[in-house]
Amino acid sequence: MSEKKRTAVCPGTYDPITLGHIDVITRTARIFDEVVVAVVNLPVRKGSTLFPVEERLEFIEDAVGGLGNVRAEPFATLVVDFAREIGASTIVKGLRAISDFEYESEMNQLNRQQAPDIETLYMMASPQYSFLSSSGIKELAMFGGNIDEMVTPKVSLRLKEQLAR
């Protein structure tokens, strides 16, 4: 008799993916049999994205493609509905600071109301990435700051191209 595969979903806009995201995804991949990086197609909270969903998916594939149990997929539904659709029983969210916890705690309560069978696991950011955010990196790139140690080379190049316009 085989055990049920443990699948987790790591949702976010990933606009763009940072080394902090990659750290959380990699650590999640060590715990779960399968990890689906769920990329919000059209985010409500953050407005429009700098990169289209297809390019964000490419960035993720480039960054974590070597992890055999990780794949990226777009989604445009409630995260709990997406989790059920792919057979995930856990949502994994990275936390950097108390402000992240406040927002994520609210989201957890809403998700539990919709889907009490889907658990949320919070993973603290590794210290070296606890200050990273996609929005902060975009702002640095816009003003010519050095982002090379915060994102993958491909993301760094594309941010510089995109924000130089």
Q: Which two tokens stand for residue 164?
A: 């130089």
Is 134 a domain residue? no
Q: What pLDDT score does 16 carry? A: 96
Has residue 76 been placed in a domain? yes
**Half-sphere exposure in the Cβ direction for 103 (13 Å, CA):** 8
Could you tell me the pTM of the whole model?
0.93
Q: What is the CATH number of the domain that holds 32?
A: 3.40.50.620
Residue 17 forms part of a structural domain: yes
**Reading across the β-sheet that carries 7-12, which strands appear in turn?**
70-75, 34-40, 7-12, 90-95, 119-124
| Total number of domains in the chain | 1
Q: Is residue 98 part of a domain?
A: yes
Is 144 contained in some domain?
no
| Phi, psi at 117, each rounded to 5° | -85, -10
- Partners of 75 in beta bridges: 40
In this structure, how many other beta carbons lie within 10 angstroms of the beta carbon of residue 106? 10
pLDDT at 3: 72
Residue 26 is assigned to a structural domain of this protein? yes
Q: Are 57 and 75 in contact (CB under 8 A)?
A: no
Within-domain flag for 152? no
| pLDDT (0 to 100) of residue 97 | 84
- Any bridge partners for residue 148, and if so which? none
**Residue-level pLDDT, tens digit, the chain, 165 residues:** 457 899 999 999 999 999 999 999 999 999 999 999 999 987 666 678 999 999 999 999 999 999 999 999 999 999 999 999 999 999 999 999 888 888 899 999 999 999 999 999 999 999 999 999 999 999 999 999 999 999 999 999 999 999 875
Sequence-distant (6+) residues with CB within 8 A of 92 are: 8, 9, 10, 24, 28, 32, 35, 120, 121, 122, 123
Q: Which domain holds residue 43?
A: 7-127
